[in-house]
């Protein structure tokens, strides 16, 4: 089960690692020290399109059984925003339905 801390609060972080073959990565929050937040490509707006380690991202933080999780991950406004409307709608539905 995933518990969203606050769906209206976007966190900013840096992608510290990403495994394109396995479809997941980790984000270090820029303001909140602690363990990295896990994310899966299905939780990314536009998938992994152009996303690499070192990119600044925005996301919603959630707590899951395994620890911190990032959902609704997207490139921060200072970089290009890849878009995939079907993927975006799917993530928005998961966020609003919990």
Break the chain into its structural domains and give their ranges: 3-38+56-97
Work out the end-to-end distance of the chain between its first and last CA atoms, rounded to an integer number of angstroms: 9
pTM of the model: 0.71
| pLDDT at residue number 88 | 45
Report the CATH superfamily, name and number, of domain 3-38+56-97: Nucleic acid-binding proteins (2.40.50.140)
Task: Specify the DSSP element, H or E, that contains 93.
Answer: helix 85-97
Instruction: Please give the C-alpha separations between residue 2 and each of 62, 64, 76, 85, in angstroms, as whole numbers.
Output: 6, 5, 23, 23
What is the dihedral sign for C-alpha 58, 71, 29, 49? negative
- Give the pLDDT confidence of 41-84 residue by residue, as tens digits: 988 887 777 888 999 999 999 888 888 899 999 988 864 444 44
Q: In this structure, what token pair is assigned to residue 81?
A: 């925003």
């Amino acid at each position: 089960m995933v518990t969203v801390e606050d769906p209206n609060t976007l966190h900013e972080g840096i992608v510290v690692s990403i495994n394109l073959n396995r479809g997941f990565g980790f984000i270090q929050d820029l303001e909140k020290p602690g363990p990295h937040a896990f994310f899966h490509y299905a939780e990314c707006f536009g998938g992994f399109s152009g996303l690499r380690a070192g990119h600044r991202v925005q996301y919603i933080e959630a707590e899951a059984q395994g620890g911190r999780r990032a959902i609704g991950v997207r490139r921060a406004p200072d970089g290009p925003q890849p878009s995939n409307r079907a993927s975006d709608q799917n993530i928005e539905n998961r966020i609003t339905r919990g």
